Structure 1
Amino acid sequence: MVNTRPPGALPGTPGRETLAEGTGLFRLHAAHRPAGSFNPVPAHPFYGGGRFDATDHDPYGYAYLGLTAASAVCESLLRSVPFDGAATPRLLPRSALRGRRLSFLRLTADVTLVPLLSGRDLAAVAQDTWLTQTEAAHYPFTRHWGHWIRENTAPWAQGFLWPSKREPADHVAVLFADRCPAGVLEETGLPPVDFEAPEGEEWLNTLLEPYLARVAP
């Protein structure tokens, strides 16, 4: 669906998926940002940025979350770490860990998301799996589509839910600050995993081992 502009109206009725108050979530984020805060910085419309980031054309705070630790880690850190054809672990560059941590969160209120999980979910918003599975080079287009879906699901849609590209068995989500109650994300009390600390690196390597990946020496 790349280079296809959104239609004038939704072709179907988007689904609604509720994550209940108390649901545990996992967030991989910059250590300088509080775990429960939303990223307030819009992405450039054309360069860099994430799949469903805000831009100046649709400014909102956003937070990407995994419903499992594996999906949060894989979605972020394995994004550009391909296999080289050898039966050896993929090496995650240490630069990818600099200033990063994984935090353990839970919802303080129910949130209602647009599911982008099935073919029917995607067809309701005039899309297919390209929207949730395309690579980063196409993120300017997915951001444009995300803004259009937000516009057409206002005011109820508080975020999106889709299958993790790097761990398809698990789901990831983005929440929108302008549609969520203040303090919707709270820390569970478990200490975060700081990836630059030796124990954090050991934790990360244990999680990555089944994915044939590890931190580079």
Structure 2
Amino acid sequence: MPNYRPPDTMTGTPAKVTLERGTVVHRVHSSRRDPAGFNPRPSHCLYGGGRFDGTSCDPYGYLYVGLSPAAAVCETLLRSLPFDPAGGPRLLPRVSVEGRRLSTLRLATDVTVVSLMSAQDLAAVHQDSWLVQTEAIDYAYTRDWAHWIRGHTDPWAQGFVWSSKREPGDRTVLLFGDRCPKGAVEAVEGDAVDFGTTDGEAWLNSVLQPYHARLAPTP
């Protein structure tokens, strides 16, 4: 599937989903970054970057959130974290959470996104589950597909929603900074969890425990 290039035209009808004003979402991010701020830095077209980031080929700010704290934590921190063959918990390196926190955000306006939830939704954009399930080795291709879908849903699509790869029972959302109005996402004051604190570490371990994972012990 990575070697399948997007067609010249879109013959399907992308599914629309409206995330209503007041919807609460969650984000794991650097403590130095505005909790509700879109990432303005384009990823490289070929190397590094996330699944649907903007690039120099299609520059746009982007904001990834989960519809639950668990989805945000799993998508950000449990990527490719292997299970222990001996049966012990997966150990999350402490460097993964240094200077990071979880923030609770709220949509300040209705947002319309392309649904990539079902096989029918994906087929409508000429794709299958590869688009939302493949690992980072293929992200240059998924970014190219994201740009193609954006181009064929301009101007109405303000992002994507899909089933979280690491928590399939929940959803992940990407919002486009160039199509969301200013102030579309706002931070919920007082609900941030700083992973560098004792309480934050305990909270994080409580979220990781059902996924058979925990922070690695302090050296």
Range of TM-score over shorter length = over 0.9
SS in 1 for 2:157: coil
Q: Look up the match of 2:151.
A: 151
Task: Kindly report the root-mean-square deviation, in angstroms, between the aligned alpha carbons of the 2 structures.
Answer: 0.7
Deviation at 1:110, TM superposition (A): 0.1
1:159-170 map, 5 Å: 159-170=159-170
Q: Hey, what's the Cα distance between the residues in 1 that align with 2:122 and 2:26? A: 25
Q: Which moved more, 1:193-202 or 1:170-179?
A: 193-202
Question: Counterparts of 2:212 and 2:191 in 1: how far apart (Å)?
Answer: 26
User: Does residue 206 of structure 1 match 2:206?
Assistant: yes
Could you tell me which residue of structure 2 aligns to residue 190 of structure 1?
190
The corresponding residue for 2:66 is 66
5 Å matches for 1:108-187? 108-187=108-187
Partners of 1:39 and 1:150 in 2: CA distance? 17
The residue type equivalent to 1:133 in the other structure is Q
Instruction: State the alpha-carbon separation in 1 of the partners of residues 194 and 3 from structure 2.
Output: 39
Report what 2:54 is aligned to.
Answer: 54
Is 1:29 paired with 2:29? Answer: yes
Q: Deviations over 1:178-201 (max 9, x none)?
A: 000101111122331111111111
Letter in 2 for 1:173: V
Matched letter for residue 206 of structure 2: T
Shift of 1:173: 0.4
Unaligned runs of 5+ in 1: none
> What's the CA shift for 1:84?
2.8
Q: What is the TM-score of this pair, normalised by structure 2?
A: 0.97
- Count residues in correspondence: 217
Shift in Å at residue 107 of structure 1? 0.3
Alignment partners' CA distance in 2, 1:108 and 1:130: 32
After the TM superposition, list the runs of 4 or more consecutive aligned residues in structure 1 that deviate by more than 2 angstroms.
none
Q: Which residue of 1 aligns with 2:106?
A: 106
Write the letter of the residue equivalent to 2:81.
Answer: V
- Indicate the residue corresponding to 1:40 in structure 2: 40
Q: Which whole-Å CA distance do the structure 2 matches of 1:186 and 1:10 have between them?
A: 34
Letter in 2 for 1:83: F
Aligned-partner residue type, residue 78 of structure 2: L
Q: Which amino acid aligns with 1:206?
A: S
SS of the counterpart of 1:178? coil
AA aligned opposite 1:116 = L
| Aligned pairs (5 A) from 1:1-20 | 1-20=1-20
CA distance, structure 1, for counterparts of residue 107 and residue 52 of structure 2: 20
Query: Partners of 2:85 and 2:115 in 1: how far apart?
Result: 35
C-alpha distance after superposition, 1:91-137 (max 9, x if no partner): 00011001111000100000000000101000000000000000011
Separation in 1 of the partners of 2:104 and 2:97? 17
* 1:31-55 CA distance string (max 9 Å, x none): 1111011000000111110000000
Aligned-pair identity in percent equals: 59
The TM-score normalised by the length of structure 1 is 0.98
